[in-house]
Structure 1
Amino acid sequence: MRAVIWMLDALGAVRGRLMVWAPVFLSLGIGGYFALKVEPGPFVLMPVAVVTMIFATLGWRGPERLRIPATGLALVLAGLVLAAYRAHSVAAPVLHFRYYGPVEGRIVDIDRSFSDQTRLTLDRVVLEDIPPDRTPARVRVALHGDQSFIRPVPGLTVILSAHLSPPEGPVEPGGFDFQRLAWFSGLGAVGYTRSPVLALEPPEGRLALLAFRLRMAISGAMQARIGGQPGAFAAALMTGDRSGVERTTTDALRGSNLSHLIAISGLHMGLLTGFVFASCRYGLALVPPVALRINTKKLAAIVAIFVAAFYLILAGPSVATRRAFIMVAVMLVAVLVDRRAISLRSVAIAAIIVLWIEPESLVEPGFQMSFGATVALIVVFQPWAKMQHHIPALLRPVAMLLISSMAAGFATAPIAAAHFNRIAEYGLLANLLAVPLMGTVVMPAAVVAALLAPLGLEAPALWVMGKGTAMILAIAHSVSGLEGAVVAVTAPPMVALPLIALGGLLALIARAIWLRGVGAGGMVAALVLWSMVERPALLVSSDGAIAGLLGAEGRALTKPKGAGFVAKSWLEADGDLAEQDAAFVRMGFQGPKGALTADLSGTTIAHFSGKGSAGRAGDACNGGALVILSEEWSGPAGPCLMYDKSKLRETGALAVYVGSDGLRILTARDAAGDRLWNRRIWRDRLAARQ
């Protein structure tokens, strides 16, 4: 009892820091919602909401000792309810069968696919013979073939013939869940077209169309002035238009851990608004009549907010750009109300706003890396402010750059490794060389060019910007070309990243030494669990088209090409940098094309794919094997364990583990559970099978 009272008193002593921990408590509830295997219904959520209000009341008016724990529990439960509400509020019809036919819709987004094809996201969708109440709110279509008949712009209504299908589940049980991402993005179907896309009605939405035309005009002008990949890179930085960036450039940026420079995020927004804020403030200070009559600091903050808003509109309101704008806006508003702009409290407020608007952001790498890096920088610069006076003035910028790069790098490295299964070995070196160029050359030159463009005098500034982007790309290519530049990392267990995040926050922010020790211990435990993770001995895709057997050389695949996204995802999760064709020739499967077999702990694995594969599977099914068939099986049930096309539609991808009692099969459906974003698809597939 005394220990409980002591803990409550200790919590009461840190009441002033509750704001800093508020987003952490909120995140625990949101993360708990996404970790559930069964979707909570109204009979669960309503009592939880009532309990949330009770705890909130205790936190506000309850006994002093209970206020902190009650408020924390209220925030945790509020996060769960908030995430559930958000999931229900974005509910929209999802296509539950394969569709081929005419598709009509209005373009709302233009991007590029995994295979570097242009993709259109359409709303106001019309599908032939499908009633409006069952038509997806949005569909995404990749464009193949000759598409020179129109120039896609937002707001343009188009018509095309397309192959559409429901959003696919994870490529392996427990892997990245595209169905969940599609649900929160409003995507009810994805597909492709090989026929021409034709314009049906002129563009709508004046603001979106004007922003797109301005974006493309600026992008074209920059690429024409600067030229080559430096120009394409510069255009991507300022407008978000990556159409001119080649795959080799993207690979070099990824291999040197500089890919964050091409995604408009907190770094760009911070550098841009920081330069505008400083220029405006110190520029006005040079005019004594103005500086003596108005608060130049607040005026500079207002100007910087408007510049950030314009940058948001120009670059397009992507998730990362919106998040960066919110973070910058909170800090600039803090300046307007005479509060510290860069503080843990400001970051906490920004995180609460983002999580309140889009709770699903919590499970996205962009949110985790942005706020992880920001928190680490703020925590590190608190002692830096006290010790910088002991460092020679000429060395301070170098020391500050080194410390900030190391802090941000250490904070984001485990997050990047968990999501992308790779670590750029020399990423710190690349960032030490490239980020200063971004802050001192590229972004200032871009702002000067924007100011001089109406006068037609932007050429010198763009020349400087081009030199800066060329140097950054040279650094990226040089660093990524070093031996061992990229190290592959095995996918972690689900619990590892939350443990690292919570442990890191405790170790960095908590004031009590014992809490910091608990946080450090949690991080160590997560890394130990990560190092002991077991990868599936056999993986099977949800359509049965490809399988992968883990062996001494790595995972052997049954196809040298095709199903490229699935194969790449499997190999990356294994911590394997091999290409698909190299994985195909590894020892594991043998036999003729389309009828491969392998031995897994005494059990025969038979994989039959391609046209006519069902006719070749009969003999294998008589021997008690595990049979994977990419077609539907209509023969008699034998002593084998058969996963044909129909059954795989019901189960999703398979992961097979070897245990002491034989093979253990985990399906994507079992791993994902019964959630809003997959329940209709699983239910329809099961009904079709029955």
Structure 2
Amino acid sequence: MNLLSRIEEERGRFLIWAPLFFGTGIGLYFVPLREPDIAMYTALAVLGLICAGIAWRWPWGIGPLARAVICVALGFGVAGARAHWVAGPVLDFRYYGPIEGRIIAMDRSQSDAVRLTLDQVRLNDVNPAKLPDRVRVSLHGDQGYLSPAIGQRIAMTGHISGPNGPVEPGGFDFQRMAWFRGIGAVGYTRSPALLLSPPTGELSLAVGQLRQKIANRVREVLPGESGAFAATITTGDRSSMERATMDALRGSNLAHLLAISGLHMGLLTGFVFQAMRVLMGLWPRLALNVPVKKLAAVTAIGAGVFYLALSGGAVATTRAFIMVTTMFVAILFDRRALTLRAVAMAAMIVLILTPEALVEPGFQMSFAATTALVAVFAWIRDHARDGANRRLPGWLRPVVTVVVSSAVAGLATAPIGAAHFNQVSHYGLVANLLSVPVMGAVIMPLAVLAALLAAVRLEAVALWLMDWPIRWILWVADTVSSLDGAIGKVPTPPGYILPLLAVTGVFFVLLRGRERWVVLLPTVVAFAGWATVERPAVLISSSGGLIGVMTSDGRALSKSRGEGFAARSWLENDGDAATQQIAFERPLFDGQKGYLEVELHDLSLMQLTGRGAETRLAEACARADLVVLAAWRDDPAPTGCTLLDRKVLAQSGAVAVHLGADGWVIEPSRPKDLSRLWTR
């Protein structure tokens, strides 16, 4: 059978292939160093029209290939349109002074501080046309003068600046993420934030205020981490979750329980659907003259819409809502829902609305787990012998289902979690087997019951009953994550690894027959490339104040405090569990504070920091091959001196130094020809 004949067989299943091609186009948009111009979009439009003509004239054979090209072109165009649509002012200097704005979101920072997102921002002596649409500020120090609430207008004195780029070449690009979220400045305050005006009844904030009201009520009934967990799974509000609890949940592979996804959405809409059918069935005249089942489906969809809005519309929640809605719409038209088609529809809708989600772990892990579960259970259903499932006792079938579900979802998401978070939970399956049944059979039904009892103000009864089951899950998370060897650290893979694994995974699921096993070769290549990855020998922060040098014991850092985000990111990307203090204590740097020297193979590096650092530049240049100066210098570097000062680093961003047979090479995070919408 030739290739075109095999492609022709897949023509009727093109919908489930479409997200792969559409996502490929989105991914290609993020690859170039320069923002695509009008000529690029015109060429793609012409290519799309040509392929549309081919697909219309020859729907068989080459037709599906033409449609695939159309999807790639559309994905590229949608991503570009979205990037321009969300464009807003970005602060292009460091600002210190009064900050005023309205709270529209709350969460927690990496340092476990409460973090506020503000709109309607006002800054002192800043042109209103250049004010960011949104500013994100972390609250440090004594904040006893404010209890933050959505809709409050507040004021503070703080430090903010435009979002920074990656802390190393190829690293996580916070600058890009902030662009798509409309955040034009980030920073912190150590001064007390003050309330200017209480929340108002603006319609645009009504859902957020309702979410916070419900979360506050949950935490009022259930104080401590139990209340924080309950508030998270009911409203998506994670602002009260402590960093230690989140680390324990991630370390035990239980963090997915916090995501309002298929489990939560399915239980809620399923309960509403069945309850409505039972209630309407109690009225014989109604049951005999009205399509009760379809009315119940419509009601369940409405409940799903409300829950989606209340939870904030995260990717996992949106995916779950689209899938359950597809099921209920199938009921309305008296048809069975095709599960892989439902997953494909959900993926297409999410990617069309928020194409930037493709490069974020939430989208990747959610759809990887769902696709794998659907494929595995469909395979079990199709290949099981008639009556084979009856050999299992009734009480054992749910247990087997939980084991299979946890194992499949864990395997599907493990490479993604390892790539983004640099860790693997070795006992995650055990933790899930101990927690998922409690979550599905006890906690979520009680959460639905609490929502119903809220109408008569008896929600505290159901919330109180949730306390001990939640404590059990938190105990499992803390115990499992604390076991010796529970968490394995892995280095960040090269950029091509995750796309290659994603494409091979999709092909393995969607292909039928023996050809699916062909994907094993690129999968082996991907894991081999990951296993042999070489981390940069030297990393230098964008300020020049922090240097990390790889040693046989791990990366040694030039200082024990300061620039903690960069230090933590470097160590995590190395697959190193050490803290910044431990990395600082690794013996490598010679000299005294402010004048450090490193000898690394054929490279001699010197770092100058603190007051008077520039006065020692000539001496440093005479002794070292590469000098890092943590100060701004307008004059050119001395002859023959390779100098990285703050002026140079402001243009290049953080840099990596690679050592090779031909000498050492400096790799910038921001190449000279980089020019994207989100770069400054």
Same fold (TM over 0.5): yes
Residue 362 (structure 2) pairs with residue 361 (structure 1): no
Q: Secondary structure at the match of 2:590?
A: coil
Amino acid aligned to 2:606: A
Residue 377 (structure 2) pairs with residue 381 (structure 1): yes
Moved beyond 6 Å, runs of 4+: none
Cross-structure match for 2:165: 169
- Pair 1:485–1:277, CA change in 2 (3 A): farther
Amino acid aligned to 1:507: F
Matching of residues 641-660 of structure 1 within 5 Å: 641-660=642-661
Q: Secondary structure at the match of 2:623?
A: coil
More deviation in 461-470 or 409-418? 461-470
Q: Secondary structure at the match of 2:670?
A: helix
Percent identical pairs in the alignment equals 50
Give the distance between the partners of 1:301 and 1:107, measured in 2 at CA: 37
Aligned with 1:189 (options 178, 185, 190): 185
Cross-structure match for 1:330: 326
Cross-structure match for 1:90: 86
Alignment deviations for residues 201-229 of structure 1 (CA, whole Å, 9 cap, x no partner): 55345345443443333333323333332
Alignment deviations for residues 273-301 of structure 1 (CA, whole Å, 9 cap, x no partner): 33433444466567665554444433332
Contact 1:553-1:587 within 8 A present in 2 as well: no
Cross-structure match for 1:468: 469
Contact 1:342-1:378 within 8 A present in 2 as well: no
Cross-structure match for 2:307: 311
Contact 1:226-1:466 within 8 A present in 2 as well: yes
- Pair 1:295–1:591, CA change in 2 (3 A): farther
Cross-structure match for 1:371: 367
More deviation in 472-481 or 168-177? 472-481
Contact 1:107-1:120 within 8 A present in 2 as well: yes
Matching of residues 594-633 of structure 1 within 5 Å: 594-633=594-633
Residue 223 (structure 2) pairs with residue 227 (structure 1): yes
Q: Secondary structure at the match of 1:103?
A: strand
Residue 258 (structure 2) pairs with residue 262 (structure 1): yes
- Pair 1:134–1:206, CA change in 2 (3 A): closer
Amino acid aligned to 1:655: A
Alignment deviations for residues 461-484 of structure 1 (CA, whole Å, 9 cap, x no partner): 223211211111111112112111
Give the distance between the partners of 2:412 and 2:543, measured in 1 at CA: 38
Give the distance between the partners of 1:213 and 1:603, measured in 2 at CA: 57
**1:503 Cα shift?**
0.4
Q: Secondary structure at the match of 1:561?
A: coil
Give the distance between the partners of 2:367 and 2:336, measured in 1 at CA: 18
Cross-structure match for 2:53: 57
- Pair 1:291–1:399, CA change in 2 (3 A): farther
- Pair 1:597–1:277, CA change in 2 (3 A): farther
Give ranges in structure 1 of 5+ residues lacking alignment.
682-690
- Pair 1:334–1:542, CA change in 2 (3 A): farther
**1:487 Cα shift?**
0.3
Cross-structure match for 1:249: 245
Aligned with 1:114 (options 104, 107, 110): 110
Give the distance between the partners of 2:212 and 2:35, measured in 1 at CA: 43
Cross-structure match for 2:497: 496
Residue 419 (structure 2) pairs with residue 434 (structure 1): no
Give the distance between the partners of 1:278 and 1:305, measured in 2 at CA: 12
**1:150 Cα shift?**
3.5
Residue 568 (structure 2) pairs with residue 568 (structure 1): yes
Cross-structure match for 1:684: none
Amino acid aligned to 2:568: K
TM-score of the superposed pair, with normalisation by structure 1: 0.93
Cross-structure match for 2:397: 396
- Pair 1:262–1:401, CA change in 2 (3 A): same
Contact 2:163-2:185 within 8 A present in 1 as well: yes
Alignment deviations for residues 606-637 of structure 1 (CA, whole Å, 9 cap, x no partner): 12223333234331111242111111245751
Amino acid aligned to 2:442: V
Contact 2:94-2:160 within 8 A present in 1 as well: yes
Alignment deviations for residues 278-327 of structure 1 (CA, whole Å, 9 cap, x no partner): 44446656766555444443333222222222223333344554444344
TM-score of the superposed pair, with normalisation by structure 2: 0.94
Give the distance between the partners of 1:459 and 1:26, measured in 2 at CA: 46
**1:521 Cα shift?**
1.8
Alignment deviations for residues 87-120 of structure 1 (CA, whole Å, 9 cap, x no partner): 1121112111112233333322222211122222
Cross-structure match for 2:587: 587
Give the distance between the partners of 1:228 and 1:186, measured in 2 at CA: 32
- Pair 1:213–1:608, CA change in 2 (3 A): same
What do you get for the CA RMSD once the two structures are aligned? 2.2
Contact 1:623-1:640 within 8 A present in 2 as well: no
Contact 1:624-1:639 within 8 A present in 2 as well: no
Matching of residues 126-165 of structure 1 within 5 Å: 126-165=122-161
Give the distance between the partners of 2:598 and 2:421, measured in 1 at CA: 30
